[in-house]
Amino acid sequence: MPLQLGDSAPTLSLPNYKGASVEISSLWRERPLVLVFVRHAGCPLCRAHSAELRDERDQFEAAGANVALVAMGNPSQVSQFREFNHLPFECLADEKQIAYKAYGIPRGNMSQVAGPSVWIAGFQSIWKHGAGAIIGDKYQLPGTVIVDTTGKVRFVYHGRDSSDWPTNEALLNALSDLKKANGVGV
C-alpha cells in the first residue's frame, strides 16, 4: 500500500554509493529529507531530473532540506550514476527494490515507461543527458517523498509515467509549507 501523508516513513538501511550502510532515518533526523526514487541509473529522464535537483541544490539547502536519491543497482553502479551526473547528495543503492516497495513506489506498464506520452521528454533527455543501460526493473516508475524530522511523510508524489516528476518548485513549496506549519526543520 502506498504511503499517505502523515504516515511514518519506513526506517530501513541501504548501502550508499560507497558501499557503507546508511539508515534512511539518519538523513531526516536534523533536516527534512527529499527522498527521490529514480527509475534506474540508465534512465535519461532520471538523469535529467537529477540534474535539475543538482542545479538547484542551493535552494534546497536554503529551504533547510537534505536531498537523497535511491536507485536500483549495486553501490558501484549507483556510484557511476552519481559521478556521471555530478550529484552532490547522498545516493543509495537498492538492488532488490526494498525501499521502493516499502515506500510504495509503483511499477508501470510498457505504455507508462516507453509509450507515446514520454517520447518527447525522453528524446530531449537523451539529447541533453544521454542514456545508459537499464539496471533493475525497467517497469519501475519514479517517486518522491518528503519526510520531516519526526519521520512523518509530508509530501508524496508517484509518477504516472517515466517522465512524470514533481517540479523543484513543487518540492520547495512543500518544504516552505512544512516550515510555516511546524517551524524550521520540522
What are the tens digits of pLDDT across the range 116-130? 666 555 556 555 656
Is 37 within the bounds of a domain? yes
Q: What are the residues facing 13 on neighbouring strands?
A: 23
User: Which domain CATH number covers 127?
Assistant: 3.40.30.10
State how many domains the chain has: 1
For residue 95, give its domain range. 13-22+31-182
Tens digit of pLDDT per residue, the chain (186 long)? Answer: 678 899 999 999 999 999 999 999 999 999 999 999 998 777 777 888 899 999 999 999 999 999 999 999 999 999 998 998 899 999 999 999 999 999 999 998 877 777 666 655 555 655 565 666 667 788 888 999 999 999 999 999 998 888 788 999 999 999 999 988 875 544
103 within 8 A of 69, measured Cβ to Cβ = no
> Cα–Cα distance between 182 and 180 in angstroms, integer?
6
- In a 3-state reduction of DSSP, which class is residue 44? helix
Burial code of 10-45, b = ≥16 C-beta within 10 A, e = fewer?
beeebbbbeeeebebbebbeebbbbbbbbbbbbbbb
